[in-house]
Amino acid sequence: MSRLFSKILIANRGEIALRVIRACRELGIKTVALFSEADRDSLHARFADESICIGPPNSQQSYLNIPAGISAAEISDAEAIHPGYGFLAENPEFAEVCEASGITFIGPQSAHIKLMGNKIQARKLAVRAGVPIPGGLDGLDDPEEALHGAKKLGFPVIIKAAAGGGGRGIRVVHSEASFRTAFSMAQSEAGSSFGNPEVYVERFIESPRHVEIQILADHHGNIVHLGERECSIQRRYQKLIEESPSPALDEKLRRKMGEAAVALTREAGYVNAGTVEFLLDGDGNFFFMEMNTRIQVEHPVTEMVTGVDLVKEQIRISANMPLDIRQEDVVLRGHAIECRINAEDPEKFTPNPGTISFYYAPGGPGIRVDSAAFESYYIPPYYDSMVAKLIAHGRDREEALSRMQRALEEFVIEGVKTTLPLHLRILGKMKFRKGEYGTDFLDKMLS
């Protein structure tokens, strides 16, 4: 008989560390927080049952330090490690070291992280699973050979890093004249960012929608999808607003995309929570893009419309427990929208670390705020600039939008610049209100 863990170490910081602590507390599991010297006064270090300083502010010496994280788990007698998102969450070496150390990694196996982390191998897997992919070329390292293939595909094309993520190692090329330079730049950026200069070329889909499917898979062969999240509001491939369900999907398309995500998950033998990401063109055709092998920043919108606690499910799956929901149990109720509030100049998009002099989070019906910020909190310059995730849920999209508008107007963060004004501008655009937008929406709005 499987049992839950008695103690879990959280190899992360900020709001996601708090999110895991809360799930563990509800499950009766003790928690150990890691913190850098810059996060000594952070909420996740305060609220965990135990906390261990892992090193100086620099993430390479603290949150990305694998030996230090494993040592902290061993000295605290933690049975499992939850990596959150970012940092080591999709690092196959970290998952592999956990496995070798007899510590449960709350996520997929290292082999699956490695497989899905290579976008070329993931494309091949999708083909075997019968999931559509954009036309493309891989295994290319010579610009001339790549250009010959790109001309056959037809411009525009997009060059992507095989081991990419976070919008790095990506170049969109509209003509033959700029291809060679873009190809070399993508290789260089991929090598410096990911230690792997391998890139591939895909047909570029103009103004697509970015739609992802949340899946859960256990060790007993059960796989379910929890509907989709619309993630098309983004800047430089970084998501800013997400919602569920997508304004672009009907029940038939939702079922087809969900079945495709499940088929790919099953073909991979993947276990735990994951997200299968698709591009959707204007004709309703969808194409596999990648699979994220971790909990997503935007997971709350799925939780709000399904009532499923994704972090708890991750923990239960890792404890070898079977899913207690079946596909027919998944029902999307109402509509949810999430805005990522970053400590950035809302016009220049430059980070704006500093001390919060006044902080007031909104509340009321249908409002959820996931944040580790508070008045007098110092936002350090060493990590991601996200301050809070503001989630609004309503009976339908119109009510969710109204609640988000009201909550954004209530939210007060002083002492640093934030993207609150940008989100209000986006919500004021008629195209967004009507749900008529693609991944180029923000570029057009700001141009």
pLDDT tens digit string along 265-300? Answer: 999 999 999 999 999 999 999 999 999 999 999 999
Convert the pLDDT of each residue in 136-159 to its tens digit. Answer: 988 788 899 999 999 999 999 999
Say what the pTM is. 0.95
pLDDT at site 3: 83
The per-residue pLDDT for 165 is 74
**pLDDT mean over 377-405:** 97
pLDDT attached to residue 67: 98
DSSP track, 249-279:
--HHHHHHHHHHHHHHHHHHT--EEEEEEEE
Tell me which CATH homologous superfamily contains domain 135-203: ATP-grasp fold, A domain (3.30.1490.20)
340's tokens: 């990522």
Q: What is the pLDDT of residue 141?
A: 85
Percent of the chain residues past pLDDT 70, beyond the cut: 100
Instruction: Tell me if domain 7-106 and domain 135-203 are identical in fold.
Output: no
Any residues with CB less than 8 A from the CB of 90 and at least 6 apart, and which? 113, 117, 165, 292, 293, 294
322 DSSP 8-state letter: P
∠ CA 390-233-64, nearest 5°, is: 70
| Active-site residue set | 294
Q: N- to C-terminal Cα distance for the chain?
A: 59
Tell how far CA 270 is from the center of its chain. Answer: 17
pLDDT of amino acid 193: 86
Q: Looking at residues 235-255, what average pLDDT do you find?
A: 95
Residue 166, pLDDT above cutoff 90: no
According to the model, what pLDDT value does residue 289 have? 94
Q: Provide the sign of the torsion angle of the four alpha carbons 275, 276, 281, 284, taken in this order.
A: negative
Q: Was domain 209-446 assigned CATH 3.30.470.20?
A: yes
CATH number of 7-106: 3.40.50.20
pLDDT at 2 over 70: no
Say if residue 418's pLDDT is above 90: yes
Give me the residue spans of the domains in the chain.
7-106, 135-203, 209-446
Measured from the Cβ of residue 327, the count of other Cβ atoms closer than 10 Å reads 15
Mean pLDDT, the chain, integer: 96
Give the per-residue pLDDT at 1: 41
Please say if the pLDDT value at position 129 is more than 90: yes
The two three-digit tokens of residue 391, written as one number: 């989630």
CA distance 40 to 112: 34
Beta strands in 190-312 (DSSP E): 199-203, 209-217, 223-235, 238-244, 272-280, 286-292
Task: Extract the tokens encoding 174.
Answer: 């509209």
pLDDT for the residue numbered 164: 75
